[in-house]
Amino acid sequence: MRLVTSDGELIQRAATGDRSAFEDLYHRYARPVFGLALRRLGDRGRAEDAVQETFASIWRSAGSYKPDRGPGAPWLYAVARNAIVDRARARNEIPSEIPDEPTPDSGPGDRAEQSWVAWRVHRALEELPEREREVLALAYWSGLSQSEVSEFLGIPLGTVKTRTRAALAKLSEILGDDIE
Amino acid sequence: MSRFEDVIDAQGLAPDEEARLRRVHDLLEQAGPPPDLPPALEHPPSAPVEDEAEIVQFPLLPRRRWPIFAVAAAAAAVLVFGGGYLTGNGKRKAPSFETTRVVPMRGHGALAFLRVAPPDSAGNTPMQLEVNNLPTQPRKTDYYELWLTRDGKAIAPCGSFRVNERTTTVRLSVPYDFRRFEGWVVTTQTATHHTPGPVILST
């Protein structure tokens, strides 16, 4: 059973001025927001600005979140998208729709779907312990075999397997309905 | 791309549990690696409160109230972006390095990851090399050199470094167009020979 406070609860608490709740939201979503901004704006400096503006926007408009209309993640996603679009408009530029790898020819619908998936997965990764996140990063995005991960981290192969399985199980729980 | 079977030992898993883990596996593949947070988002911003207040706008609030909330929001943002985030994540955190791709290198019982960042406006590409288990140099004047390769040969030098720990991380920057090359190698070098020495790591 997960005892982690839901995004929706944190948003509601932030709306009352609860700074620690806002900090928790930042911890969970800074990286997903940055990833989304980077994809949309195609520039790291502007993406950084968009992250700052997103969280300023979350702080000031948290009271507009209505839990009966859905969970917090989609609301946060919408706030982030708006901040990113505003960032682009502020400079009289059209948001650069950088195609999401590895399907550069996908249409807007596919890109939106991929952005949403990345958003949810990256946010879920933030809840994993560092040691489990590290094992997943090496296994999935560095091209190492389990034996090489074991060698690289200096831990037994069995521990790598255990951590990997535990990490996927936790992600499964965190992602919940998204994986159905 | 990883195969599920290469990452997870599915023995003993119930079919429905295996199906859920497979779905998570697919989502991880689809999402790709999360970006490294730039230092500006990990440390307190240097922008003064007044500057923050100018940025903040309040389309959701009555206009007469926005200055009050702007100052409050800016102050909160400074506090939150400041110590709060780092305090909550102050355990073990690798230094941030913006990465567009990670290139593993292997050889002689050693492993390395070469993280490649986007090129800057001048055409320099920052890279961060993390090496693990590379033997320390026998002499004080010996060193390692990273090279780009073409036709299996070390062609373009990318930087020199020494190791003195089990894991060593160095940052380098090169002005090359990587499309003209096929991979990287690390060679051992001595003070008297600056042409490519024996290869100890390769992609």
Minimum Cα–Cα distance from B60: chain A residue: A61
Q: Are residues B43 and B133 in the same domain?
A: no
* Structural domain includes residue B33: no
- Examine the domain organization and report whether B123 and B187 are in the same domain: yes
B77 to A59: CB separation less than 8 angstroms, yes or no: yes
Quote the domain boundaries for residue A136.
130-180
- DSSP code at position B108: T
pTM above 0.90, yes or no: no
Which residues of A fall within a CB distance of 8 Å from B23? 172, 179
Please give the Cα distance from B177 to B125 (Å, whole number).
9
CB spacing of A148 vs B89 below 8 angstroms: no
Residues B158, B147: Cα–Cα separation, whole Å? 5
Let me know whether B119 and B52 are in one domain: no
What's the CATH code of the domain at A85? 1.10.1740.10
Of the residues B7, B36, B58, the best mutation for testing chain A's interface (the one with the most A CB atoms within 10 Å of its CB) is B7
- What is the Cα Rg of chain B in Å? 24
Residues of B in contact with A136 (CB under 8 A): 28
Strand partners, B154: B149
**Whole-angstrom distance, CA of residue A148 vs CA of residue A153:** 8
Residues A76 and A162 in one domain: no
Nearest-CA residue of chain B relative to A18? B76
Are the Cβ atoms of A23 and B85 closer than 8 angstroms? yes
One domain, residues A97 and A168? no
Are A153 and A134 in contact by the 8 Å Cβ rule? The answer is yes
| Residues A96, A75: Cα–Cα separation, whole Å | 23
Does residue B81 sit in the same domain as residue B162?
Answer: no
ipTM for the complex shown = 0.73
Task: Say yes or no for a CB contact (<8 Å) between A56 and B56.
Answer: yes
CB pair distance less than 8 Å for B56 and A139: no
For residues A75 and A138, membership in a common domain is answered with: no
Contact A135, A149 (CB under 8 A): yes
pLDDT value for A9: 94
User: Which of A127, A152, A172 finishes a domain?
Assistant: A127
Q: Is residue B93 part of a domain?
A: no
Range of the domain at B136: 101-202
- Run of H or E residues at B78: helix B66-79
Number of domains present in the structure of chain A: 2
Question: Do A80 and A10 share a structural domain?
Answer: yes
Among B56, B88, B120, residue at a domain's last position: B88
* Residues B114, B138 within the same domain: yes
pLDDT (0 to 100) of residue A168: 93
- Shared-domain flag, residues A113 and A169: no
Residues B44 and B116 placed together within one structural domain of the fold? no
Contact residues, chain A, for B60 at CB < 8 Å: 60-61, 64
Q: Are residues A56 and A121 in the same domain?
A: yes
Counting the structural domains of chain B, the total is 2
Same domain for B113 and B193, yes or no, is yes
CB contact under 8 A, A140 and B84: no
B154 and B70 housed in the same domain: no
Nearest chain A residue to B18 by CA distance is: A169
Q: What is the pLDDT of residue A179?
A: 57
Residues A137 and A121 placed together within one structural domain of the fold:
no
Strand order in the sheet with B183-189: B153-161, B143-150, B183-189, B199-202, B101-107, B110-116, B125-132, B167-174
Residues B83 and B105 both lie in one domain? no
- By three-state DSSP, how is residue A138 classified? helix
Q: What is the pLDDT tens value at each position of chain B, 203 positions in all?
A: 678 888 888 788 889 889 999 999 999 988 888 887 776 676 433 333 333 333 222 233 333 444 444 445 455 444 444 444 444 444 434 456 777 777 888 887 778 888 888 888 888 999 989 888 888 888 888 899 999 988 888 989 999 999 876 778 899 999 988 878 888 899 999 877 778 899 999 88
Together in a domain, B119 and B198: yes
Final residue belonging to a domain, choices B88, B121, B151? B88
Judge contact between A85 and A27, C-beta under 8 A: no
**Listed residue (A58, A4, A48) closest to A26, CA to CA:** A58
CA distance B118 to B124: 9
Q: What is the pLDDT along chain A (180 residues), one digit of tens a residue?
A: 555 788 999 999 999 988 888 888 988 898 899 888 888 888 787 888 888 888 888 988 899 999 988 888 889 989 998 888 887 776 554 444 443 444 444 555 666 677 888 888 998 998 898 889 888 988 888 778 888 888 888 889 999 999 999 999 999 998 886 655
User: Do residue B58 and residue A175 have CB atoms under 8 angstroms apart?
Assistant: no
Distance in angstroms (rounded) separating the CA atoms of residues B87 and B79: 11
Q: Contact at 8 Å (CB) between B27 and A180?
A: no
Closest residue in A to B109 (Cα–Cα)? A151
- Asked if A143's CB is within 8 angstroms of B104's CB, the reply is yes
How far A118 CA lies from chain B's nearest CA (Å)? 4
**Residue B5 domain-assigned (yes or no):** no
Q: Could you say which of B20, B37, B113 has the minimum Cβ distance to residue A179?
A: B20
CB contact under 8 A, A52 and B91: no
